[in-house]
Amino acid sequence: MDGNGMPPAPITSIGEPLPMVDGPEKIAGKALYTSDFYDPSALAGAIKRSTVAHARIVSVDTSAAEALPGVHAVITGSETDEGHGVLPISRTELPIAHDKVRYKGEPVAAVAADSIEIAIKACDLIVVEYEELPAYYTAEDALAKDAVDLHDHREGNIERHVEFEIGDVDGGFADADLVHETEYHCAEVCQVQTEPHAAYVEYDGERDELTVRASTQVPYYVHLMLSKILKMPKSKIRVIKPYVGGGFGCRTEALNVEMITAMLARRAKGTVRTVVSREDTFITHRGRQEQTIKIQMGMTKDGRITAVDCKTIQRGGAHSGYGIVTILYAGSMLFAIYDLHNVRYDGKRVLTNTPPCGAFRGHGTVNTRHAFENAMDEMSKKLGLDPFAVRRVNLIPELGFTASDQWINSYGLPECLDIVEKASGWKERIGKLPPGRGLGLGCSHYISGASKPVNWTGEPHATVNLKLDFDGTVVILTGASEIGQGSNTILVQCVAEVLGIDPSRVKVVDADSRVTPKDNGSYSSRVTYMVGNAAIEAANNLKGMLVEAAARKLEVSPEDVECLGEVYRAGTQDEGMTFEEVVMAALEGTGTITAKGNFDTLPESWGGKKYRGAAIGGTMAFSYAAQVVEVTVDPDTADITVDKVWVAHDCGKALNPLTVEGQIQGSVWMGMGQALTEETSYHDGLLISGNMLDYRVPTFVDSPPIEAHIVESNDPHGPFGAKEAGEASLAGFLPALTSAVANAMGVRVHELPVTPDRLLQLLEDKERKMRSAAE
């Protein structure tokens, strides 16, 4: 009994809207990001970039730069001949271009100097002689018959051509009452995370060792790539991830910024700090590729999909990056949201002389989902069916395996649909809105981590260590990268819940290769699911040790110990031991306790073998989302106002409803940017929108009210039932928006983003057609 006469009870952490554990440091400005590391002796790093899109490098003359006072190191492509990249089969990108440049902005040299001004001046003094080659800025041009290959090992500039047919597609079309073909085009977009890329690298000349701080989502991959390109043993490198100002996929692979800074530090035998500009961050890119998607869909008259044929082409940029993975996801993620049996896919990832694309939030799924959902909306109109009815008739009838062997263990999409239909007043309002106003629906899904890691090492997917010592603080040691998404908070909640202790007792030490267990990184929404499960196992192991210690002291068997979090006791009348007393008992004879937990995916979730690359798309759990978007369109200017968004996301279990809601809102908002305003544009391969004025991320003013609903389908394998919460709500916005505009104005925009000029063009075309029909 405590002072209030209440029996003690374990403290609940899961399901509580706990503010983020690293919030106070961020709010107070005390959190140190990479660029906040500064030493007066640190040199400034700067990168010289190619002014041409495709050329052989004839010579690089660095003599004038090296002679400039204040310059400590000048490096070129000859610094390393080792390529980097995500997949072992496509490590063809060099941190600094050597024989060839393949896009405007590719690094051709770098300088470390006493100040950034001197470093930039030195870059200007470096003379590069190019022998220009034909350059291709569109997938179409790169695929042309007589096009020169960008890379020797990629004939016809095709990075990967994925083809599969599952089921009987032609038979499916024959069974359809309506076969409809439609085409969508999505512009290339960038993440525009708050923090530009930065690296701070200390080289220890005595020991030939490097300490690297970098703005990354994947310190482990950075570690691997640094070891490779520097040809240094991994044991000589320490990688620390400081606070990171957002990632959204643009830091999911080692970037040239950190690799160049490391090479400069070693060459200068000192510390080098590189903080690149916003333009450089745009050019480093790894955003979502430009893509054309052609979808042919067959439907019965009640809306059931009988077959899908999807052909898509992605403009991947000059290097592979995540390209092979992206084009595989675009196909595999056609499945696992609706009940599909007959699907044909033809996807080409094309190499072009533009900056390399990457793994933007919703990786691989977003553009294809946009086309797919629009096709459903177009067909529902043709068949005179309600878009909700069309979704419902295609819902997956029972849990288990899809036709593509993806494993579905929980499925909250039906409830998501019910919620947004009701919340938006769809039934009462659709078709009855005044002119210029419209509603649209979109559904989407995402994985909770890829079940097969890109680097297969035989290790578990995730490992978490817990340290417990005399002070009674439970320290989580994790390599998982907190990048603002809240992973540290979730791990604290998982551990505190298992132990039933006050979450303020649990602290996190994260992402330092010398201290924390290796982790693959923060991408594909893997951390909550995989690292969360590892944290639960570690906490259970620790709890076992504590219960045993308490049993020893209380002289009972462990089964008779009741763990109440802050109190352990042997019976209800027993006063028990405080947590601190149990800790001291546990330390007797052993000293500091370390408990470990692992997580591994189950083979059933590995995605099958129906086609080459089918493992991409395999996951332990799919999350689901549905959203309704309401818009108002100004008929004179075609300005679109998003009045409101109702979104429901099935995240299995909201471990922290506050951060889940934040993730849902962020996803919707990011989808809105891609749908309405954001696109990169190029002038002869030069990124013309490499700044935040010409690349238009929505502002506060443009942000609609977003009503986020959480659906909890309780995944059987997820940590406390949880699955992904940070990506699935993005993709649905795009088709919901185009469908809402179609509902409002009677025209459907097939090209993203739906800027007012694109929409006005269609409205004028429609008016012209109506006029000439009337005449």
Of the candidates 653, 711, 644, 638, the one whose C-alpha atom is nearest the C-alpha of residue 672 is 644
Least Å distance between CB 47 and other proteins?
A: 10
Least Å distance between CB 277 and other proteins?
A: 3
Helix (H) or strand (E) holding 185: strand 178-186
Q: If binding is defined by CB under 8 A, does position 671 make contact with other proteins?
A: no
Q: If binding is defined by CB under 8 A, does position 684 make contact with other proteins?
A: yes
User: Dihedral, CA atoms, 281, 187, 678, 624, nearest 10 degrees?
Assistant: -100
Least Å distance between CB 682 and other proteins?
A: 11
Of the candidates 677, 673, 694, 667, the one whose C-alpha atom is nearest the C-alpha of residue 282 is 694
Q: Report whether 747 contacts 741 (CB < 8 A).
A: yes
Write the burial class of residue 69 (CB in 10 Å: 0-12 exposed, 13-18 middle, 19+ buried).
exposed
Residues 677, 713, 738, 743: which binds other proteins (CB under 8 A)?
A: 677
Stretch that binds other proteins, among 1-9, 14-22, 687-695, 722-730 (CB under 8 A): 687-695
Which residues, 6 or more positions from 759, have their beta carbon under 8 angstroms from its beta carbon? 633, 638, 640, 741, 745, 747, 749
Which CB sits closer to other proteins, 571 or 705?
A: 705
Which CB sits closer to other proteins, 596 or 644?
A: 644
639: its two tokens: 């300005």
Q: If binding is defined by CB under 8 A, does position 693 make contact with other proteins?
A: yes
Write the burial class of residue 362 (CB in 10 Å: 0-12 exposed, 13-18 middle, 19+ buried).
buried
Which CB sits closer to other proteins, 484 or 690?
A: 690
Which CB sits closer to other proteins, 61 or 415?
A: 61
Q: Which residue has the tokens 């502002």?
A: 699
Q: Report whether 723 contacts 714 (CB < 8 A).
A: no
Q: How many residues bind other proteins (CB under 8 A)?
A: 43
Q: If binding is defined by CB under 8 A, does position 702 make contact with other proteins?
A: yes
756: its two tokens: 């007012």
Q: If binding is defined by CB under 8 A, does position 116 make contact with other proteins?
A: yes
Q: If binding is defined by CB under 8 A, does position 688 make contact with other proteins?
A: yes
Amino acid at 486: G
Q: If binding is defined by CB under 8 A, does position 698 make contact with other proteins?
A: yes
693: its two tokens: 């004025």
* CB hemisphere CA count around 555 (13 angstroms): 0
- Report the alpha-carbon distance of residue 736 to residue 163 in Å, rounded: 29
Q: If binding is defined by CB under 8 A, does position 51 make contact with other proteins?
A: yes
Q: If binding is defined by CB under 8 A, does position 418 make contact with other proteins?
A: no
Least Å distance between CB 763 and other proteins?
A: 10
Q: Which residue has the tokens 């909700």?
A: 388
Residues 28, 701, 773, 774: which binds other proteins (CB under 8 A)?
A: 701
Count of helix runs (H) and strand runs (E) in the chain: 20, 31
Residues 114, 165, 279, 339: which binds other proteins (CB under 8 A)?
A: 279
- Report the alpha-carbon distance of residue 670 to residue 684 in Å, rounded: 28
- Ranges within 60-99 binding other proteins (CB under 8 A): none
Question: Residue 692, Cβ neighbours under 10 Å: how many?
Answer: 12
Q: Which residue has the tokens 């099935």?
A: 650
Least Å distance between CB 309 and other proteins?
A: 33
User: Parallel, antiparallel, or unpaired for β 400-401 and 474-478?
Assistant: unpaired
Which CB sits closer to other proteins, 116 or 224?
A: 116
Residues 31, 64, 120, 587: which binds other proteins (CB under 8 A)?
A: 120
Least Å distance between CB 775 and other proteins?
A: 20
Which CB sits closer to other proteins, 48 or 391?
A: 48
- Ranges within 195-224 binding other proteins (CB under 8 A): 196
Stretch that binds other proteins, among 269-277, 312-320, 411-419, 445-453 (CB under 8 A): 269-277
First-to-last CA distance in the chain? Answer: 88
Which alpha helices (H) appear in 677-713, and where do they start and end?
Answer: none
Residues 362, 690, 718, 732: which binds other proteins (CB under 8 A)?
A: 690
Residues 587, 696, 704, 714: which binds other proteins (CB under 8 A)?
A: 696
Least Å distance between CB 685 and other proteins?
A: 9
392: its two tokens: 């419902």
Which CB sits closer to other proteins, 538 or 631?
A: 631
Stretch that binds other proteins, among 150-158, 371-379, 617-625, 679-687 (CB under 8 A): 679-687
Which CB sits closer to other proteins, 609 or 769?
A: 769
- Ranges within 599-658 binding other proteins (CB under 8 A): 636-637, 639
Look at residue 121 and give its three-state secondary structure: helix
Please state the φ and ψ torsions of residue 720, each to the nearest 5 degrees.
55, 25
Angle at 527 between CA 526 and CA 528, to 5 degrees: 105
Residues 70, 460, 558, 756: which binds other proteins (CB under 8 A)?
A: 756
- Report the alpha-carbon distance of residue 686 to residue 689 in Å, rounded: 9
Q: If binding is defined by CB under 8 A, does position 275 make contact with other proteins?
A: yes
Stretch that binds other proteins, among 143-151, 316-324, 432-440, 696-704 (CB under 8 A): 696-704
Residues 138, 277, 598, 632: which binds other proteins (CB under 8 A)?
A: 277
Q: What is the largest CA-CA distance in the chain?
A: 98
- Residues found near other proteins in the complex (CB under 8 A): 49-52, 104-105, 116-117, 120, 196, 275-280, 636-637, 639, 677, 679, 681, 683-684, 686, 688-694, 696, 698-702, 755-757, 760-761
